[in-house]
Amino acid sequence: MTTMKKVDIALFSQEVRELMDCPWRINLTHRELHRTELWSCCNASDRLMVTRQNTDLNQSLSYEIQRWRKRKVDQALWEMLPQTVPWSKGSLSRCAVVGSGGILQNSSCGAEIDNADYVI
């Protein structure tokens, strides 16, 4: 049987504080490289959302997980679709991802969510 090494809690705490104090800075070169790679392989920004611009009336759509399931785009569905993706005029600055688990109830996050450019 082996014994575990004793941890110096003061040293560990200091290292965590130093790590958390490191300021985040955007790397524009890295960001643009990733955008280019994504654009070349999958064009995710144009295919992420179903819109009137990228979907035809009577077109058959596949579900992402259950590819065998199809949904025909009838008139009622097509009229609910947005004309274009919300970021067609440029990137969005603030997005909010909101689930349905109830974790945000009484969280006072309403104003922050309302101020987002896009809510998922």
Spans of all domains in the chain: 49-85, 88-120
Q: What phi and psi values does residue 85 have, to the nearest 5 degrees? A: -70, 145
Q: What angle do CA 88, 28, 118 make, to 5 degrees?
A: 35
How do the pLDDT tens digits run along the chain, 120 residues long?
677 778 889 999 998 888 888 888 889 999 999 888 877 777 666 667 889 999 999 999 988 778 889 999 999 999 999 998 877 677 778 888 888 878 888 888 889 999 998 888
Query: What single-letter amino acid sits at 104?
Result: L
pTM: 0.47
Quote the CA–CA distance of 113 and 108 in Å, as a whole number.
Answer: 10
CA separation, residue 8 to residues 2, 18, 20, 64, 116 (Å): 19, 16, 18, 49, 43
Element (H, E) at 71: strand 70-72
